[in-house]
Every structure is written in C-alpha cells, then in structure tokens.
Structure 1
Amino acid sequence: DKGQASAMELLRCPVLRRLFLCLSLLWFATSFAYYGLVMDLQGFGVSIYLIQVIFGAVDLPAKLVGFLVINTMGRRPAQMASLLLAGICILINGVVPQDQSVVRTALAVLGKGCLAASFNCIFLYTGELYPTMIRQTGLGMGSTLARVGSIVSPLVSMTAELYPSMPLFIYGAVPVAASAATALLPETLGQPLPDTVQDVESRRKRQRRRQKQQQEQQKQMVPLQASA
C-alpha cells in the first residue's frame, strides 16, 4: 500500500533503517568527494583545460574496470575498494608538495576515476539491496543525499584559509570513513532481488549462517594444518 512506499518506512523497520543509514553515507561520501575534486581543478598546478579533458576521459575506463570488478568480485568489495582507494589518493595528495604537479594530477585523476566507479556501483547496489516495495523511494533518498554532498562540498574549500591542504584531508577522510560502512551491508551478487522486508531479513540470515559455517570450517582446518 501507499504507507509501505513512504520514505518513513526506511526508518521504521530496523533492517531497512540499517540499509538506509549505510547507503546514505555511501551516497553522500561519493558525491561529496567527487565534486570536491572537480571544483578544485586550479589547485593542481596544471592547465584547467587540460585537466578538465583528463578528468572527463578517465570516467570511461574507470567505469569499465568498475563494471568488471562489480560482476566478478561482487558489489560490496567493489564499493568498499573504490571509496577506500579514492580517499587514500586524495589524502596522499594533501601531503604532496605543490610543485609536484604531475604527481598531484595523477593522484587526483585516479581518485576521481575511483569515485566515478563508486557512483556506478552505488546505483546498482542500492537497487539490489532495497525490496521492490520501496526500491524507488530508497534510490530517490540516496540520490537526495548525494545532492546534499555536492552542496556541502564547495563550503569545505573555505577551510583552506586555515591550512592549504585541509580541504583535501576532509575530501579524503569522508570516503575512507564511508568505506567502513560497506562492511555492514550484505553481498547481492547472484542473489534474487528482494520483494518484501521479509526477503531482506531472510537474505541477511542466510549470509550470517554462511559466514558462521565458513568460520567453523576455518577453525577445523587449523588443527589439521598444525598436525601436518
């Protein structure tokens, strides 16, 4: 019914609330760092026209690599790796000397490519995590949080008055922190799309059971390896 499709349903149900909070952080962090890099082109010591072309060109290979990783390793590893690598690249850029324009540009391009791959993954991942009854609402809320990230992002540049590299440290720290939230989400590769909240809960229980079995198998293998 209409009540089930409301945005408030994302907060009422514990299992959906967990998904909503984690995915909101992922959407916000991806957009926040992405636009933070894009709107600071003049800070890398290279022609803004050249770096604009490079930034635009890197999206295609980044999304192709992201597509391969998403469909081989899984959604959760791809999402975590793309955000973590992007954040690390941005953080390193904050300590690279200003005169190392080539290194700074390379790190920025790699970070931007990872964020482009993260956008690809988060769209797919969000749609597969939410049940049919509220899937479009969940995607809409995620997109809204991404827009909030893009709005807040330019304000961070003002922290450069305190310390020149402060914006890069903030742009890098947010996706690194957000990548940890991915560990709280289930894997959806090869799994059927959930139709109801009960399907989401059942998927979570199955994955917990599978993880427990794997841990028990690993514990059983340790004595065998020790005796060998």
Structure 2
Amino acid sequence: MSKETPVVGLDVILEQLGPFGKYNIVNYALLLVPVYLAGMYGSVFVFEASDVDYRCEISACETILNDSIIWTQYAIPQGKKGLSKCSQYSYRDGIVLDNNTICSTELFNTSRTETCSSFVYGDQDSAVIDVSIQRCQDGKRTLIGTFHNAGLFLSLPLTGFVSDRFGRKVALSIASLMNCIFGFLRSFSVNYYMMVAFEFLEAGFGAGAYSTAFVLAMELVGPKGRVLGNTLINVVFVFGLMSLSGLSWILQDWRTLLRIIYAPACLVFSYLWILNESVRWLLSKGRNDEAIAILERAAKMNDVMLAPHDLAPLQDTEKPDNAELTGPKEAIQENKPSVIMQVIRSSIIRKRLVVCSFLWITCTFVYYGLSINSVSLAGNKYINFMLVAFIEIPANLACLVVLDRYGRKKVMIITYFLSAILCISLSFLPKGHPWWSLIIYLSGKFSITTAYSSVYIYVSEVFPTNVRQSLLAICSSTGRIGSTLAPLTPLLALYYDNLPSIFFGTLAIMAGLLVFTLPETINVPLPDTIEEAEMLSRGKKQSVDQP
C-alpha cells in the first residue's frame, strides 16, 4: 500500500482554525526571517560588484589636483557618458616623460588615442577594485550576477527534491546553512575566480530557502489566507532589498556587507528543531499521526475546538471503506505509476508547466532587469534602488486587493500588458526629462511586481500537493533563465539607452497572451492529486464557497 494519503479534508480544517490565528502568526514570523534575508541575498551582487568611476592614470598630470578638471579635457577623450574610462590621448612623438615633464596641451596628440596601462579610481567601494577584475571589460563584471543567478538552476530543483522527499523544514534549514557558509566565505575572496565560484555555490545550494519558506507559508493557511500570506512575504522581501541598499550606502565596504548579511542565515538552521513541519506534506506522505498532533496544537494555540469527526477522515484515510469521507482521491495501488510519471503523461499538466515556466522567465527577466538597471538612472544609485524596491510594497498591497476580487488570471493579463506598454514607452520619452523617466520606470516595476506576485501564488495553486514544490521549483529554476540574463542587460544600453526596456516590454506582451490559456484558481482549494489538478482546466473543481 502506498504511503501517500489524500489531504482533501485539510482545507476544511484550516478554515476552522482561521487564516491567521496565534499558531499561524508564530510560524509566519519564523518563516519571514529567511524571506527577509533572501531579499538581500538575491541582489547583493548589484552593490558587491558595482560599476565604479575610473579613468586612465596620466602620470605627468596626476599631481595637479586643483586643475584636474582642466587637464583631463586635453589628456582624455570624451566617451558616451563623460570621460573615456579606457583610453587616453597619445603623447606627442619625441616626448620623454620624467620628473620635469609639464602637463599641458602640447604634451598630447588629440588626433590619436591609446589604451590605458594604469587606472585612477573614484572614492567608491566595489569588488571590481579589490579582486582585480580586468578594467574595461564590463561583461566580466556583469557575469558575477549571471554566475549568482545561474546557481539557481541547481538550487531550486535540488531544494524542491529535498523538500518533497524529506520535508519542508529540512530543506529550509539546510539551504539557509549553505547561504551562511558560502556567503561568508565569499567575503574573503582574493581573486575573480574565487569570487564567482562562491557566488555560484552560495546560490546553487542556498537560494532555495526562499521558495521553501514560501511553500511552507502557503501550506500553512487555507484558500482565504493565501493572498494575505503572499503579500506579507513579498513586503518583507522588499524590506530586505531596501535594507541591502541602505547597508551598502552606510558601510561602503563590500566584504563587511557580506559578513553582516550572511551571518544570520546560520541561525535559521536551528529551524530544523524549532519549526513545525507542513501538515499538508505530512499527510501526503502518510504520516497522519504527526499531522494530527500538529493540528491539535494549532487548535489549542488558536483557541479553537476541533470536533473528533473533523479529524476522523485524516485518521482513517488508509481504510478503503472510508473513501466517501475524504472525497475523490488517487487509488492506492502498489502498481500505480509514480507521481512524476503521471505528471509526464498528463498533457494538461505538461502544457501548464511549460506556460508557467515562461511566465516565470518573463517575470524574473523584467523584474531583475529593472532593479539592476536602476543604479544606472540619474541621481544617487542607492536611493534609486530603494525607490525601485519600495514600489513593490504598493504593488503587493494591490495584489491583496485585486487577486481575490478579480481573480488571478485577469490580474496577470492586465499587469503583463501594462508592464510592456510602460517599458516600451521609455524609448519614446524625449531626453532631458529624468523625473518622467523615473515615474514611468517605477510604474513599470509596479506592474511587473504585481504580475510576479500573482504568478508565484498562482503556480502554487495549480499543481498537486505531493509534487507541488518540485513543479514549482521546475518553473522557478527554468524562470531563472530570465534572472541569469538580466545582469547582462546593462550591456545593451551601450548600443542604445532604451534597448533593455524594449526587450522587457516584448517579452511581457508574449507572457500576457499565454495567460489566456490557463485556468482560473480564485477561491479553489489546493489540488491534492493529479486528477484534481487536471480538473482545474476542465472547470470541475469546486470552489470553497460552494456547498
């Protein structure tokens, strides 16, 4: 007999316990800690290896500090955005440089340039200087973010497997420990290769902490509490982003920054002993006694009385004659195909997996692309990053209002198309209007954040319990194609300032069109079996409001 048991009656019990009683609040508070840390970890490379001001070192002129603005005009050519970083005017033929050489216009041949041999840096902090990243190769610098996000291709499926096989809290605790170890070690990097190796390893083994915390939180509440829970998670994630920018601004030391933000992840490892396992996961594995014990503790904390007949279906699920108590479920047979094989054989689930993966690619590409490129906007890069992060709070509050009123599908369609219009419109805005550019930029981030939050909660609602995190991890890891490419988008601006925004808008239009092919999940209990997940597309799954 299979160990897996149906959990159809669980949503009814969760409704009785209430969406946010004392038990839920305590567990959510614990889960919000790794979520907050994940907000910093996912974008730390933006400040860790930020671009810095530098120019050629002109040995004959560097001692003339007060007149540096004057002499750089005839010693260094103008680039697209100010003085060239990588070239200087050649010295005139026959010039011999020594201590008596005078810095003047006659020293340089402004009709000929040459590559810099040494550099002078501005008063900025970045690993670009400390780990000797080769200058004038922006691609090498931006690859640090790409290596970080490429680690998610390993982390999310790996964490999803551990989570579905060994439990949510085990996966969360181990991933957090990996964050702590590899993130802390990265602060001691002495060269570029050591740094990118630890970037990959930290994300590769630790980035799944966020998705695991999210799944635990979603499985903690019933259908009515999911949107509020999702909003809390996303708002706390934003505070992590804003804290990252503020700490970077205050510390101005990337090594100290890494040590401060990664140390708390070691404390999350203690969740292995203090956090309750997901009741829904325990029931899906046939560990009913443990699940019922947790539900009874939750009822006691929430001052709710659960009648014996409420828990009876969960106690008797392995008895064939009690099938009518628990509703439709998978037949329990030894020769039944594995759940993964059922997913592969189901054309509905396969198509849904492909579409959801593309939606995720679009969200990560546009979301992270706008965040990363925000430091290139006019003004203080730390404030710009904070503003672009802060706009996510009203976006998530908007989700709280609209998702349960208008449904997931309609909200995703509108926000994808709106994001596309706003991003593409940046290319038509006349130059010299920085405030209008910032407003449209923030509006685009607002739209894609709303879409991203909607996709995250939607994907957690359309797949069955026993493979929910694995399939969510597949969508999320495939979606990291977008976040892996996003750090490279600033290079597009070297050819045309608004080329990144045009790419963002085009992808958002395609995603909006694909949403039309998906089912609506508003007020629908989480599907526990493959058949129930398929019924969403056939319109047969009862909503929680139906008798």
**What TM-score range do you get, normalising by the shorter chain?**
0.7 to 0.9
Which residue is 2:465 aligned to? 132
Q: How far apart in 2 are the matches of 1:133 and 1:180?
A: 30
Q: In structure 2, do the counterparts of structure 1 residues 10 and 150 end up closer, same or farther at CA, with 3 Å as the change threshold?
A: farther
| Alignment equivalent of 2:347, drawn from 8, 14, 25 | 14
Q: In structure 2, do the counterparts of structure 1 residues 158 and 4 end up closer, same or farther at CA, with 3 Å as the change threshold?
A: farther
| Alignment equivalent of 2:450, drawn from 117, 138, 142 | 117
Which residue is 1:53 aligned to? 386
1:74-223 map, 5 Å: 74-206=407-539
CA contact 2:462–2:521 (8 Å) conserved in 1: yes
Which residue is 1:37 aligned to? 370
Q: How far apart in 2 are the matches of 1:95 and 1:20?
A: 36
More helix by share: 1
- Corresponding residue pairs, total: 206
Identical-residue share of aligned pairs (%): 25
Deviation at 1:204? 1.8
Q: How far apart in 1 are the matches of 2:389 and 2:538?
A: 42
**Structure 1 stretch 82-91 or stretch 23-32: which is displaced more?**
82-91
**Structure 1 stretch 40-49 or stretch 168-177: which is displaced more?**
40-49
CA contact 1:90–1:172 (8 Å) conserved in 2: yes
Deviation at 1:9? 5.5
Q: In structure 2, do the counterparts of structure 1 residues 16 and 150 end up closer, same or farther at CA, with 3 Å as the change threshold?
A: same
Q: Which residue identity is paired with 1:85?
A: L
Which residue is 1:222 aligned to? none
Q: How far apart in 2 are the matches of 1:112 and 1:10?
A: 34
Q: Which residue identity is paired with 1:54?
A: L
Aligned to 2:524, the other structure's residue is in SS state coil
Q: In structure 2, do the counterparts of structure 1 residues 11 and 33 end up closer, same or farther at CA, with 3 Å as the change threshold?
A: farther
More strand by share: 2
Q: How far apart in 2 are the matches of 1:117 and 1:97?
A: 28
Q: How far apart in 2 are the matches of 1:28 and 1:85?
A: 17
Q: How far apart in 1 are the matches of 2:413 and 2:400?
A: 14
Q: Which residue identity is paired with 2:507?
A: V
Which residue is 1:69 aligned to? 402
Q: CA RMSD in A?
A: 2.1
Query: Looking at both structures, which has the greater relative contact order when contacts are Cα pairs under 8 Å and sequence separation is at least 6?
Result: 1
Task: Note the alpha carbon deviations across 1:71-113, whole angstroms, 9 max, x for none.
Answer: 1000111122222211211111122123111111001111112
Q: Which residue identity is paired with 2:481?
A: V
Deviation at 1:165? 2.0
Structure 2: 5+ residue runs without aligned partners? 3-164, 166-336, 541-547
Q: In structure 2, do the counterparts of structure 1 residues 128 and 150 end up closer, same or farther at CA, with 3 Å as the change threshold?
A: same
Deviation at 1:190? 1.4
Deviation at 1:202? 2.5
Larger Rg: 2
Which residue is 1:213 aligned to? none
Structure 1: 5+ residue runs without aligned partners? 208-228
Q: How far apart in 1 are the matches of 2:366 and 2:432?
A: 23
Aligned to 1:19, the other structure's residue is in SS state helix
TM norm structure 2: 0.36
Q: Which residue identity is paired with 2:537?
A: R
Q: In structure 2, do the counterparts of structure 1 residues 95 and 12 end up closer, same or farther at CA, with 3 Å as the change threshold?
A: farther
CA contact 1:46–1:101 (8 Å) conserved in 2: no
Deviation at 1:178? 0.7
Q: How far apart in 2 are the matches of 1:175 and 1:9?
A: 31
Deviation at 1:16? 0.7
Deviation at 1:197? 2.1
Deviation at 1:161? 3.8
CA contact 2:424–2:505 (8 Å) conserved in 1: yes
Task: Note the alpha carbon deviations across 1:180-221, whole angstroms, 9 max, x for none.
Answer: 1111100000122222222233232227xxxxxxxxxxxxxx
Q: How far apart in 2 are the matches of 1:100 and 1:78?
A: 31
